[in-house]
Structure 1
Amino acid sequence: MSDFWDFIQHLFNPRWIFLYFGNAALFILLAIVFAETGFFIGFFLPGDSLLFTAGIFGEDLCKNFYNVPFFIIILIVAFFAILGNIQGYWLGYKSGELLYRKKDSFFFKKKHLILAKLFYNKYKSTALIMSRFLPLFRTFAPIVAGAIRMNFKKFMIYNVIGAIAWTYSIMLAGHYLDKSFPELKNHLEWIVLLIVFITTLPVIIKLKKSKKKKLLI
């Protein structure tokens, strides 16, 4: 059991994933990207920091995967991000109403689902693009889209745009920053913390605002 929890803790250290798994690191990355949007328990997974780190270790990923160009690696990651959203959509489509009646647990908080629905109601279909860059909403936005029976073709358009924008922007940022500043690898932990802070700050602000509204009501 202790080995399992050690592994879970290491998942939050993207550098460890790429250094420890070597040739299999890409498959771990793809599994996490898929699970983060494909299942409601995926909200705690380190998607943004992992993509950024993947950009830094882009050359290694290419070498370990038949020496394909880096943009192909990003395209593969984007494809799995699209698949994850499709899984989330059908999860919401098939069991959306049940999720709203589901009791809170360690992996599931109904308030997160409700917050994502409010976010979706405010930004409509574009929420599927914006949510890619916000950890909590990234997980629940496709579930909400499925629960409200959003047109699937329309969902797929925003799904594809969001996935490509998310993966290419973050992975290329890591890739080219590493080219310009190779010493980034020596300070990766601080960079990951900064990314986590930047991406979660809007979520924290949104949660606080929603709490204040409840108190006023």
Structure 2
Amino acid sequence: MFEVESLQHLLRTGSYLALLGIVFAETGLLVGFFLPGDSLLLVAGIMSAVEGGLNIWGVMACCVLAAIVGDTVGYLIGRRFGPAIFNRPESRFFKPEHVQRSYVFFQKHGGKTIILARFVPFVRTFAPTIAGVSGMHYPTFLAYNVIGAVLWGAGVPLVGYLIGNTIPATTVDKYILLMVAVVVGLSLLPVLLEAWKLRKKAA
């Protein structure tokens, strides 16, 4: 879990390039599942409201663009290398249970997974690659990819921006950690529900 202060420092120093790089890595590279997608977007939105360094339109544009390109790269990795990329042994950066969780999510929701996965940690990283492995028609994937990227990449920063404009700038630092925790908790809720359903079914 990344600390809010670290995210704020990253955005102050790396600005839009940091957003582009992290969102792309989290959505396009299999090793990017540990990156702070939801919390980073929320903090970027809040900072664009209370500080002068970031513009909300620039934040949303960067996040949407990086999310579209990232998912496309993930899809191409799946199409090019197929199931073999998921057969590697467990390591510090590769957890088979994350792949299995994403696969179950994909089997349940089909193409809509590409949209829904944007809001689910871990699944967000592996879903486009699984779509590529499964041979999903690319124009269909691209449509879901763009819709999901806009809803997530623009929606989460916009929520942060609205929060930042609602809470006085002098007190926003007191609440930012709580807001990030709420967003991350909500994003983890689908994963917890799915795990509960699987455990109940197994029992």
TM-score where L is the length of structure 2: 0.89
Q: 1:174 aligns with which of 156, 160, 164?
A: 160
Q: Which amino acid aligns with 2:181?
A: L
Distance 1:174 1:84, change over 3 A: same
CA deviation map 1:78-103 (0-9, x unaligned): 00111110111111112231123211
Matches of 1:35 and 1:101, distance apart in 2: 21
Q: Which amino acid aligns with 2:151?
A: A
Mapping for residues 24-173 of structure 1, pairs under 5 Å: 24-59=14-49, 63-64=52-53, 70-173=56-159
Confirm or deny: 8 A CA contact 1:17 1:25 kept in the other structure. no
Alpha-carbon deviation of 1:142?
0.2
CA deviation map 1:153-196 (0-9, x unaligned): 11111101100000221111100111111223322222222222
Task: Provide the residue aligned with 1:6 in structure 2.
Answer: none
In structure 2, runs of 5+ residues without a counterpart are none
Moved more, 78-87 or 24-33: 24-33
Matches of 1:34 and 1:159, distance apart in 2: 13
Alpha-carbon deviation of 1:59?
4.8
Alpha-carbon deviation of 1:70?
2.5
Matches of 2:124 and 2:24, distance apart in 1: 11
Comparing both chains, which one has the higher relative contact order based on Cα–Cα distances under 8 Å and sequence gaps of 6 or more? 2
Q: List, as ranges, runs of 4+ consecutive aligned residues in structure 1 with deviation greater than 6 Å.
A: none
Distance 1:209 1:149, change over 3 A: same
SS in 2 for 1:115: helix
In structure 1, runs of 5+ residues without a counterpart are 1-8
Percent identity at matched positions? 34
Q: Which amino acid aligns with 2:23?
A: V
Task: Provide the residue aligned with 2:192 in structure 1.
Answer: 204
Matches of 2:192 and 2:138, distance apart in 1: 30
Task: Provide the residue aligned with 1:195 in structure 2.
Answer: 183
Confirm or deny: 8 A CA contact 2:10 2:18 kept in the other structure. no
TM-score where L is the length of structure 1: 0.83
Confirm or deny: 8 A CA contact 1:15 1:53 kept in the other structure. no
Matches of 1:210 and 1:203, distance apart in 2: 11
Q: Name the count of aligned residue pairs.
A: 201
CA deviation map 1:89-125 (0-9, x unaligned): 1111122311232111111122221221221121111
Q: Which amino acid aligns with 1:33?
A: V
Task: Provide the residue aligned with 1:16 in structure 2.
Answer: 6
CA deviation map 1:46-72 (0-9, x unaligned): 1001100000111578x547xxx5324
Matches of 1:34 and 1:53, distance apart in 2: 17
Matches of 2:177 and 2:49, distance apart in 1: 20
Task: Provide the residue aligned with 1:5 in structure 2.
Answer: none
Distance 1:60 1:83, change over 3 A: farther
